[in-house]
């Protein structure tokens, strides 16, 4: 298993800024200093290897987003968005793949992306409403915001005209706006104080 983790760590570096198509298995084996057969042994195919890499890298993102429970909500949101943007910045190729839904047949990458979205929606719901099982309207409002972050982050890594701090502040504020929109339509989901105060 150590070997598998090692190969994934190498793959994360290789694929961080290089797209799936741009690296062949021969390139990968050469740069990783391992026999191609070893990669096939653990991952069956280049696609299997790539999916394992993406899953591993996404796990970091989700873990980080769900951490910091000891922080006040607004700081936690700031930290989550900031770490999300850092992730996009430092794993551009992988991030683009996840958000745009993958390479070729992409049900698996879609599933990974949907998992990240739902994990973030659940984290936001916990933070704002104290539970992750929320009504369809509140869920949709939060999900729409998560999708706005995805789209904004992809655009931002393609043309970084704004600093990460400005991006972060903008997205914290639009989250506040989304939470107030939810509250206006369903008062049983009140926007948390910081979101209300900040407006």
To the nearest whole angstrom, how small is the minimum distance from the Cβ of residue 48 to a copy of itself?
19
- Per-residue interface string for the shown chain with a copy of itself, residues 157-186, x marking contact by CB under 8 A: ----xx---xx-xxx-xx-xxx-xxx-xx-
According to CB under 8 A, which residues from 120 to 149 bind a copy of itself?
136-137, 140-141, 143-149
**CB nearer a copy of itself, residue 21 or residue 70:** 21
Nearest-angstrom CA–CA distance, 103 and 19: 9
According to CB under 8 A, which residues from 44 to 83 bind a copy of itself?
none
Q: Which long-range contacts (CB under 8 A, 24 or more apart) does 122-130 make?
A: 123/65, 123/66, 123/80, 124/77, 124/175, 127/73, 127/76, 127/77, 127/192, 128/73, 128/179, 128/189, 128/191, 128/192, 128/195, 129/189
Number of residues that bind a copy of itself (CB under 8 A): 41
To the nearest whole angstrom, how small is the minimum distance from the Cβ of residue 180 to a copy of itself?
6
Which residue, 132, 45, 149, is CA-closest to 95? 149
Q: CB–CB of 124/168 below 8 Å? A: no
Chain residues binding a copy of itself by CB under 8 A are 100-101, 104, 106, 110, 117, 136-137, 140-141, 143-152, 155-156, 161-162, 166-167, 169-171, 173-174, 176-178, 180-182, 184-185, 198-199
């Amino acid at each position: 298993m150590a070997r598998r983790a090692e190969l994934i760590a190498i793959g994360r570096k290789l694929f961080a800024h290089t797209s799936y198509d741009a690296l062949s298995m021969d390139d990968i084996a050469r740069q990783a200093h391992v026999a191609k057969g070893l990669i096939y042994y653990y991952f069956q195919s280049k696609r299997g290897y790539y999916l394992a890499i993406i899953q591993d890298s996404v796990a970091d993102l989700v873990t980080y987003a769900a951490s910091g429970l000891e922080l006040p909500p607004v700081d936690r949101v700031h930290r989550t968005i900031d770490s999300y943007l850092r992730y996009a910045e430092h794993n551009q190729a992988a991030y683009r793949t996840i958000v745009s839904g993958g390479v070729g047949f992409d049900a698996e990458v879609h599933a990974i992306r949907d998992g990240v979205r739902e994990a973030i929606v659940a984290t936001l719901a916990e933070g704002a409403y104290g539970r992750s099982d929320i009504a369809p309207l509140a869920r949709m409002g939060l999900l729409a915001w998560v999708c706005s972050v995805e789209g904004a982050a992809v655009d931002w890594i393609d043309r970084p005209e704004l600093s990460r701090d400005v991006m972060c502040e903008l997205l914290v504020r639009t989250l506040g706006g989304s939470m107030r929109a939810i509250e206006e339509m369903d008062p049983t989901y009140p926007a948390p104080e910081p979101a209300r105060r900040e407006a």
